[in-house]
């Protein structure tokens, strides 16, 4: 599973300069994949990244790569405007922003992806933040995972990196949803 995660996110992980942080990011991914699917685990990250767009074929790993790449490119532009950005925190948080989703979903015997037992109780920002805390990721990363969706609208305020991830997450989700609805 370690080789698989490292290969899936190789370009994104390479942007994290702190080796310890990089390893922790991979460890969190591995634990989510091993304990998700209501404890049965996932063999890969090919399951759909959302249940809110009917007919979506974009996988969880595709979404994580797209959001991380959008965040990285946004950071390039914003840094030119002298907005300070912690790249390690940005990339680690982006790779992990949806890491609660392997716990939130389950694959039924019929092969349908739906909400898991955990997912019916706790949204993925909560379970993802919990996993990140367990693996002693920096508090900024835990905060960014917890606040990447509407939970972050209620404060405390998002970090600069968290605000970028929040926008990039919806920058992928929004246009994709509209394009699918217009098909």
Strands (DSSP E) contained in 24-159 are 105-107, 113-115
Span from 26-34, 75-83, 91-99, 119-127 in contact with Fe ion (CB under 5 A): 91-99
- Which CB sits closer to Fe ion, 24 or 97? 97
Candidate ranges 21-29, 114-122, 152-160, 168-176; the one touching Fe ion (CB under 5 A): 168-176
CB of 16 or CB of 99, closer to Fe ion: 99
Near Fe ion by CB under 5 A: residue from 8, 88, 98, 104: 98
Q: φ and ψ at 128, to 5 degrees?
A: -65, -45
Between CA 55 and CA 130 the distance in angstroms is 30
What whole-number distance in Å separates Cα of residue 73 and Cα of residue 88?
14
Measured from the CB of residue 82, what is the shortest distance to Fe ion in angstroms? 28
List, in order, residues 6 or more apart from 172 with CB less than 8 Å away. Answer: 63, 66, 67, 70
Q: How far is the CB of 80 from Fe ion (least distance, A)?
A: 26
140 touching Fe ion, by CB under 5 A: no
SS3 (DSSP) at 59:
strand
């Amino acid at each position: 599973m370690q080789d698989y995660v490292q290969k899936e996110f190789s370009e994104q992980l390479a942007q994290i300069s702190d080796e310890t942080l990089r390893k922790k990011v991979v460890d969190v991914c591995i634990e989510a994949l091993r304990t998700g699917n209501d404890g049965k685990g996932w063999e890969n990250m090919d399951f759909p990244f959302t249940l809110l767009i009917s007919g979506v074929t974009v996988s969880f790993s595709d979404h994580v790569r797209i959001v991380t790449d959008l965040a990285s490119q946004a950071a390039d532009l914003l840094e030119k405007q002298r907005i300070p950005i912690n790249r390690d925190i940005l990339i680690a948080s982006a790779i992990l922003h949806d890491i609660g989703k392997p716990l939130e979903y389950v694959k039924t015997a019929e092969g349908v992806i739906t909400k898991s037992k955990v997912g019916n109780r706790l949204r993925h920002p909560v379970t993802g933040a919990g996993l990140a805390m367990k693996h002693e990721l920096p508090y900024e990363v835990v905060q960014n995972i917890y606040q990447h969706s509407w939970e972050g609208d209620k404060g405390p305020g998002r970090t600069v990196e968290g605000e970028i991830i929040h926008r990039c997450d919806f920058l992928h989700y929004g246009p994709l949803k509209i394009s699918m609805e217009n098909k």
